[in-house]
Amino acid sequence: MDILGGVAASPFDLFEAMVRALAGPAPILGEKTPGHLLWWPAIARAAPWVRFVLVVRDPRAVTASSLSMPWTSNDDLAGWGSRVHLPLAARWMFDQWTGARLSTTLGSKRCLVLRYEDVVADPDAARERIASLIGSSVGIPRQPVPSEIVLPWEQWKQDALGTVRADRVSAWHERLSHRDALQVAAICRTGMGHFGYTDHPGHVQAAIVRARLGPDTNRKLRQYIASYREYHRYITTVAL
């Protein structure tokens, strides 16, 4: 309220003031909420100075990691039971479609695409690319992260403050069965190819794997993604 002087001229002004209040004084502010990916058209229009960093990760790793997260019990996922990896894969595919549109529309001056695996392999190079995007100095050494950046209830983020570990790249092999990993790759085949993940099933094999899921499951997946498409269509009409 103090930052805004008691009046918010637009929803984006309110959002920006919340970020400033939470982050504290800083020359450059950043905000990371995966779900805000769907809001990129409205944010880009409302704030043409904003830069976007899009981080992409192997869908099998994303799915394996998500399986242990508390949100898998949300209403939209709870009904999938032991097959919850399927809607998680479908959501990855939709997110990558959205991310591809973001990077293509805004171009390299406003959007940087980083693959998680490349960041792990060379964190310094990734940091310099981000610095270049936001107009900061390159060659900035890694700075300590304040412990309060992770809230007490966010247990899944505790390891994020530690040393970058290369073994996390392939950890999904231990968490996903061969069948589930193949099903995820079959659903995400197009997005994997777009972002340079080449170890996905071919077109025919992917079609067979998806067909074996059964008509009811495939229909349920289409309905699941349709709800996200409708939400995204609504958001793109909102002027922040």
The predicted pLDDT at position 169 comes to 86
- In the predicted model, residues of the chain with pLDDT beneath 50 are none
Q: Largest alpha-carbon pair distance within the chain?
A: 60
On whether the CB atoms of residues 56 and 96 are closer than 8 A, the answer is yes
Tally the residues of the chain: 240
The pair of structure tokens assigned to 52 is: 């976007």
CA angle 197, 198, 199 (to 5 degrees): 100
- CA separation for the pair 62, 99 (Å, rounded): 15
> Which stretch of DSSP H or E encloses residue 115?
strand 111-115
Please write the tens of the pLDDT for every residue from 64-90: 988 887 777 677 787 888 899 999 999
Give the per-residue pLDDT at 17: 93
Tell the residue number behind the tokens 């949100």, with chain if given.
71
The angle subtended at Cα 236 by Cα 235 and Cα 237, nearest 5°, is 90
Check residue 26 and give its pLDDT: 81
Q: Give one DSSP letter per residue of 143-157, joined into a string.
A: -PPPGGGS-TT-GGG
Interacting residues of 54 by C-beta distance below 8 A, sequence separation 6+: 37, 99, 102, 103, 111, 112, 113, 114
Residue 184 structure tokens: 């995820």
Q: What is the pLDDT of residue 181?
A: 95
What is the Cα–Cα distance from 197 to 116, expressed in whole angstroms?
A: 12
What is the Cα–Cα distance from 69 to 86, expressed in whole angstroms? 15
Task: Answer whether 175's CB lies under 8 Å from 183's CB.
Answer: no
C-alpha 117/C-alpha 165 separation (Å) is 10
CB within 8 Å of 107: residues ≥ 6 apart: none
What angle do the packed helices 59-66 and 85-106 form, to 10 degrees? 130
